[in-house]
Amino acid sequence: MSGVEAEDAKKEVAECEKEIGTIKALLRGLGPAPEDESESNEFKVAFLK
């Protein structure tokens, strides 16, 4: 693997780790379902490449 390829791989890993952190933060925000089932949690994730 050349130096350029290694740098590109490091950048891609950093981006993936950032996305994983964002997803984990969103998941932490979701709690148990409310007792009143007319209210529901909604979770939307967009994956961009």
Q: Each residue of 21-30: pLDDT tens digit? A: 888 888 887 7
Question: Which of 15, 5, 9 lies closest to 48 in space, CA to CA?
Answer: 15
Residues sharing a CB contact under 8 Å with residue 41, sequence separation 6 or more, in sequence order: 30, 31, 33, 34
pLDDT in tens, 1-49: 788 899 999 999 999 999 998 888 888 877 555 555 555 567 777 888 7
Which pLDDT does position 34 carry in this prediction? Answer: 53
Residue 45: what residue type?
A: V
Q: What's the longest Cα–Cα distance across the chain?
A: 57
Say if CB 33 and CB 16 are below 8 A apart.
Answer: no
Please check whether residue 42 is in contact with residue 30, taking contact to mean a CB–CB distance below 8 angstroms: no
Q: Is the pTM of this model over 0.85?
A: no
pLDDT of 37:
56
